[in-house]
Each structure stands twice: as C-alpha cells, then as structure tokens.
Amino acid sequence: MAISVDEALPAASAPGDTSTAPRRRRGRAVVEVGLLALLAVAMLFPVLWMLETSIKENRDVYAVPAEFFGFTVTLDHYKDVFVAPGGGASDLSTSLFNSVQVAGASTLLATLLGVPAAWAYSRFSLKAKKDQLFFILSTRFMPPVVVVIPIFLMYRELGLINTKLGLILIYAAFNVPFTIWMMKGFVDEVPSEYEDAAMLDGYTRLQAFWRVTLPLLVPGIAATAVFALIFSWNEFVFAIFLTSSEEVRTAPPAIAGLIGGTTVDWGLVAASAVVFALPVLVFAYLVRKHLVAGVTLGAVRR
C-alpha cells in the first residue's frame, strides 16, 4: 500500500507558531538576571569588604581564614581618622579638609569660567571656532604625569609649590576644557530664540543669559560640576608632586602614605577610604535630580 509523504513525516511547526516564545523569553531573562547578579556581586565585593574591614578590630582584620561574620564591631578606626593618638586633629582629618577646600574651590572656579565660555562658543560666530574648540579639548589629551615636571618648574618660579592655591589653579585649568565641552552641548539645546525674545523686552545680552538661559542650564551645570569635582577630589599625581607638607597635602596622597613599612593598619586605611568617598557621594545624591536630567539632556534630538 502506498504511503504519502505527509503520513511518513511528522507534522512540522508552522512558521508563525509562537507557543514556545514566552518560555524562551523567560529562560533568557533568568540567564540575564543571573549574569547581572554575578557582575553586581563582583563589583560590590571590594566596597563591602572595605566597609567590613573599617569596622573590624585589628585581630579580626588579620584573622586567617578571614572572618566574614561573627567579628567584633568597633568604630575606633573612624575615630583614628579624625583624632590623633595624643589628642587633637589628626593629619588625615587635615588632609580631608584640604581636599574639600581644593576640590570645591577648583570646581567652582572651573564652572564660573567654563559656563560663560561655553555659552559664547554656542551663541556667537567666532573665527576658527572649531579649531579653538579642538585646541581646548586637546589640553585633556595628555595625562597629568606628562606635564607635571614643567608645571613643577613653573610653580617653583612663581612660589606656588606646597600651596593650596597652586592645586586649585591647576585643577581648575584641567577642568575648564572639560566644562566648556560639556556645557556647550547643553547650551546648544536651549533655543537662542528665548534670548532674542528677552532682548526684545529690553534685556541686554548678558541679562538675557543670566535671567533666561542660565536657569535652564542648571541640570547641565550640576552634571558637569559632579564630574569636575570627582576629578579634583581623586587627583593624585599633582597632589603628590606639588605638595610636601601635611598642612597642604590632600587626602589621596595622605591615604596612600598609610600603606608602607613593615606593618599596615588596614582598618585605618579602610576607614579613611570610606570617609574619603562619602563627600562626593553626598554631593551627587543632593543634586541627583539635576544630575539625571543633565546626563540625559540632548539624548533626543529635535
């Protein structure tokens, strides 16, 4: 008896059959979540280990095998960050205060200089404007270690070695090009017709910028200031080369100086790192709404 092809072969799924599609999507979602969870654990483990080390007693810090749970909690390391063994302010607390002064002043100076410059490059037709912008950006091409020796020689002649003013000026100089490029994109997103309308109402060009454009740039300024603050706050090369005394030195070289010799107080190092990370995190949290709006501004082109 003859057998047809349809009877001999099992029925194949129709091309449009989507009965297994939800199952595949669920399986893929589980795999993605699992991989992201592993990645998050790998990234957060050093931070969690630092936090845990900062609240351990020294005998628990050096315990072998390491104690993840069941150790004695202490805040002595945080006390040592701010209080010297003989009483009074510690060198670490002085360095942290220096970082606050230097990073804050340099970020403020870079913002005050960079925002008007970015507005001018966005609004006015300048000769060789693209070349000027490229030259400004090219100052960030070289890492600080390349130019630290010429800057050291120049600072020695100007008497700026081992001064907070010297650090503020060099940090601001490195942050101004970044501020100009970041803010120019934000200014481009604000229609120039707003300023034209304000000038028709009797405002001058600068008044129109101050009263109309600048309030709209607050998210971009917040985002730019956070990145500029992070650079000034974490900078190490200039701080180690241009300062020599504990009264002027900032926190990064001061914390690095804790590591060395025959014995390292890892609890103090961890507590110093936690305290050092907090100010930037707090500042970013306070401006979080503006920061999110600033980093997404311009993502959708009109």
Per run of 10 residues, the mean pLDDT along the chain (length 302 residues) is 52 55 82 90 88 87 79 87 84 92 94 93 85 82 86 93 94 91 88 90 89 89 88 92 90 88 83 90 79 57 48
The count of other CB atoms within 10 Å of the CB of residue 270 is 21
Residue type at position 95: S
Residue 240 is predicted with a pLDDT of: 92
pTM surpassing 0.85?
Answer: no
How far is the CA of 184 from the CAs of 11, 188, 221, 227, in angstroms?
Answer: 63, 6, 11, 15
Q: DSSP for the chain?
A: ----HHHHSPPPPPTT--TTHHHHHHHHHHHHHHHHHHHHHHHHHHHHHHHHHHTB-HHHHT-SS--SSSPPB--HHHHHHHB-TTSSB-HHHHHHHHHHHHHHHHHHHHHHHHHHHHHHHHHS--TTHHHHHHHHHHTTTS-HHHHHHHHHHHHHHHT-TT-HHHHHHHHHHHHHHHHHHHHHHHHHTS-THHHHHHHHTT--HHHHIIIIIHHHTHHHHHHHHHHHHHHHHH--HHHHHH--STTT--HHHHHHTTS-SS---HHHHHHHHHHHHHHHHHHHHHTHHHHHHHHHTTSS--
Supply the pLDDT for residue 67.
Answer: 77
What pLDDT, on the 0 to 100 scale, is given for residue 145?
Answer: 85
Angle (CA) 165 166 170, round 5°: 115
pLDDT at 263: 79
Which tokens sit at 177? 């090009």
Question: How far is Cα 22 from Cα 34, in angstroms, rounded to an integer?
Answer: 18
Q: How many CB atoms lie within 10 A of CB 301?
A: 5
pLDDT at 302: 47
